[in-house]
Structure 1
């Protein structure tokens, strides 16, 4: 009831009036049956605009920290996320993460729509980062279609660290469903999981026009935080992964939504192994770091 009231009566009408979100491909969302919506993640507001434009109820996997806060603010935050159909997602890996994925699987088995941000956290610089394979584990185990979604301009509305949003239009591009039933019976194969995840990320890159970096956003954020704590001037986020970024031709200064670009090579700094060990889908603000 809370979700419906906020979407239809309180928040939805206000956001539609102020931000006038434009949507392309809404008919790609199935009218019934289970599905996983995967999206790039630029801003906290992604988790507000996306559910408002999708006709069906979307249940997101949210990082578990939002449900364990202390004090009045922490308890109010946890209450809000529970009332707005968010599920806690433990991203520490191992049994805890597996249990969180099981909760998402229950939503799909009940015929619901599950929302996931494969990057696991918000992009630190507007680029698209490497996806975590938890989304592939869910999709391969359930055989449900994947609906790719590109959020456009939400990082300009509410950049990381900004509480009061800028009033400007945002866009949502919903791609055609992706079918991975060809991998039936191979849900435990790590190579298949990575292949499915990379295919999903390529589609998000194609829809959004973002530059792709073949490194985990969480790794980049940790490095930036460490450099800040050490008092060093932080370089542009992702600078150490420049060679892994998608290469865009010189005559296209700003990639347009829908542009297809080339995925570069994976980084060789060894960070992938550590992240793969805890490879689960986060959900950025609803799952962000």
Structure 2
């Protein structure tokens, strides 16, 4: 695969971007089975784009805690036609995968970003695919696959440790040929992070430390367990995943205000409003007019 552009065309909007999630899976933690065929997934992607998503992130493998992996053939069957059709319709598309083979096929089908929750650790061939293609690459903090990742949720200081480990990954990827300007950083909320220890909230409060690494930051908090824990009705009962959407919108506004490059969300409309509110507030604080349009330059 030859790159036609040495660097990715990342968005140039002043505001935080909205990445809408399309899980083509039967077992994702909050919406598994809703969009698990090609037609339903494409229509869901079109709907989210119409509601204001700047990017549609298509995934074919659940990464919820305890999830088993699917075969590469099954993952390809799920995501390849969806990415291809959305890209054909002019929708900016990313592929949520840890596998180089899936990433390469999705990029060939039109994906502009590879969103890898393992940051290239799950598949050593991923760095080469990303380097040759020149696409954007979301590098997440990761300590292991879903089946045992929560056993790795031990930190001296979660913000310092995550920043250090991401910086190490950036160096390793750069040494493997990935250009720093291809990279977007993700603190990996929920992945080897303890709800009881408050790791996710500490990372959100420490977003400026992540930004000091010099790359855009993606926040993926939508509907995650730590929000269900915050909103629980009792010590025994978590708020169900769809009931976490309002809290996700609140978190989006805060993340956008504090400089997140993008938020990754299940429901787009309220989050699209939230990033515009945050942009207007930041603009007023900086003495700049708020943006009046939602379009971006790619």
When normalised by structure 2's length, the TM-score is 0.29
When normalised by structure 1's length, the TM-score is 0.29
